[in-house]
Each structure stands twice: as structure tokens, then as C-alpha cells.
Amino acid sequence: MRLVTFALALILMAVPSSAGPNVITSVMPVYGIVSAVMGDVGQPKLLLQGKMSEHRASFTPAQVAALGEADIVFIVGHGLETKLAQMSGTEAVNGKAFVLLSEVPGVVTRPIRQGGTWEPHQHQESGADEHDHDAHEGVLAYDPHVWLDPENAKAMATVVAMELAKIDPEHAATYQANATTLSAQIDRTTAEIAATLAPVKDRPFVVFHDAYQYFEARFGLTGVGSISDVSALAPSAERLQEVRDKIMASHAACVFREPQYDSKTVDVVIEGTGARSGVLDPIGAGLTPGPDVYPKLLSNLAEGLLDCLGG
């Protein structure tokens, strides 16, 4: 995957902002949560958007300067926006410490799954940890795709409201009320998704990169492998063969590509296996920024799974 460098004209995506605090968010799921909590007070700015790899994004000097001028910056954390997390608290951003939402109270993390294949529901057996968030010198201690568990998103919303209240106490009650409203909306979406996916939850599938174990665990799905690892690195020939063998052995119904990445690898892997190709977008690359982004992202994942697994 090639390094992504943004044009100066795209310093921050053109998401409207009002007189509220100057808030920057890293990726679309974080934007959706923060936008919903801010509500009519203002809108956050979105740093990374579109069909790009958030794992390896790089930044212009103007973008870095904007981060240093923000009142607050919300990101997922180490292992996702790697270079962004490394900037937190540094002189480059005027010493500003970013809020790493994967490390806040109430967020439950899961260990990284090893290898390209696993047994169904391995994510449930491996356990989860609310406290072991340490990542040093590029060594990732947990799967960073924490937002794909709706319960984690609710915990994030609570902390977002608290952090916004610290810099804008005048609107503290509004932030808290909006976080409560978002949590209720997430609960409704979660119930709808559980009903939607119930008919296909036992059908095995393979994903492009190992981003979905939080979603799989929450809804009891049967993921059996991934073409690429948790960081979406290019797979080796050995791993591709391992995944092909798993597709055949498990009778996987679908292999899911992602809009951010070349679909040719998926085409190669499924050739001659009988598996179908589907699309999942874990980061919301195709969504329009807005306060309803997070529930929509979850619903889109459910629809993508049902469209392929239900075929």
C-alpha cells in the first residue's frame, strides 16, 4: 500500500464549522461520534476522508499546524492513525495532547488475531481487555478497530462529552444530552442489525483485512479469515494460499473487499472457490460527513454482509 500524502488544498476536509470550539477529528467514525455530541453547538473538522489508508497517512506542514491550533483533537489511537498518534504532545503540534479514544474508560479492546485464518468465534474465546492499551515503538498491543463495537462507541461518546465540557463548559449540558441521545440511537441500530443478520450469522466469510472482529463478536458472526492483517499490509503469497485453502475448507460464502483498496487481490483469492465477492467499508469512506454517520456506518456493514451472505 503506498503512502498517502494530501494536497495542500485538502488541509482539512470542507466540513462546515460554526462558532463552537475548534475541534479536529481524525477519521469518519470519530467524526460521526463527535459531530453527534456537538450537535448545534458546532461541527468538528475531519482530517482524513475518502478512499485512503488511515494506517499510513502522512500530513502536510499546514495540516500539522492546524492540529496545533485546535482546541481539542480526537483520534482513535496507536495502530490506526499511527503517525498522527505519534505527534500527540510533541512540539510539532504545540505540545497538544490528543484524546486517544481507544484508550478511554469503558472501551474494551481485543487482542490482534494472528495469521490469515482462524476458527469461527475465536474472537470470543480470546477475550477482551478494558485496561491493556499500551503500545510502544510501533508494537501494537490490541486491534485498533474499536469503534466497530457499538458499546465502545457509546463509551467514546461519553468521554467526548466530558472532554468538550472541559473546554466549553457553557455547553456542558448540551454535550451530555447529545451523548445520551446518540447512545440511544446506537442501541436502536444495534437491535436492528442483530435482527437483520440473524439469518446469516452462521455463514462463514473472509474479509480483506482483519478489521471486523469487534463487529463479529458483538453480533455473533462467523468470520474465518482475512487476506491482509490488522494493519492492511500487503499479503504474502503464503498467506494468500492459506486463505484460499480456508475458503475451500470452510465453504466460505463470501470474501469482502474494501473501497480503499485494490479489489484484484480478492478476485485472485476467490477464483475457482465458489465464494462470492462483497463489499464492506469499516471506515466510512463512502459516507457524507454528518451527525448520523456512525449509525449509518454500522447499518451499511450489516447491509453489505446480508447482500452477499444472503445471496
Confidence bin at 54 (pLDDT 50/70/90): low
First to last CA, the chain: 31
What was the pLDDT predicted at 79?
Answer: 81
pLDDT tens-place string over residues 76-129: 998 898 889 999 999 989 999 999 999 999 999 999 988 777 766 544 444 556
Confidence bin at 6 (pLDDT 50/70/90): very low
What was the pLDDT predicted at 119?
Answer: 67
CA–CA distance, 150 with 155 (Å, rounded to integer): 9
Whether pLDDT at 10 is above 80: no
Most confident listed range (199-203, 241-245, 283-287): 199-203
Tell the CATH superfamily of the 4-192 domain.
Nitrogenase molybdenum iron protein domain (3.40.50.1980)
Closest CA to 93 of 107, 72, 111: 72
Task: For residue 209, list its beta bridge partners.
Answer: 228
Share above pLDDT 90 across residues of the chain, in percent, rounded to a whole number: 70
What was the pLDDT predicted at 3?
Answer: 35
Residues of the chain with CATH 3.40.50.1980: 4-192, 197-309
CATH architecture of 197-309: 3-Layer(aba) Sandwich (3.40)
pLDDT tens-place string over residues 117-142: 776 654 444 455 654 444 444 456 79
pTM confidence score:
0.89
Closest CA to 298 of 284, 311, 309: 284
pLDDT tens-place string over residues 66-78: 999 999 999 999 8
Task: For residue 223, list its beta bridge partners.
Answer: 205
What was the pLDDT predicted at 257?
Answer: 95
What was the pLDDT predicted at 168?
Answer: 98
Confidence bin at 260 (pLDDT 50/70/90): confident
pLDDT tens-place string over residues 29-44: 999 999 999 999 999 9
What was the pLDDT predicted at 125?
Answer: 41
Q: Comparing 8-17, 82-91, 142-151, which segment has the lowest mean pLDDT?
A: 8-17
Confidence bin at 59 (pLDDT 50/70/90): confident
Average pLDDT across the chain, whole number: 87
Instruction: Collect all residues with Cβ–Cβ distance below 8 Å to 169 and sequence separation of at least 6.
Output: none
What was the pLDDT predicted at 129?
Answer: 61
CA–CA distance, 137 with 78 (Å, rounded to integer): 10
CA–CA distance, 253 with 309 (Å, rounded to integer): 6
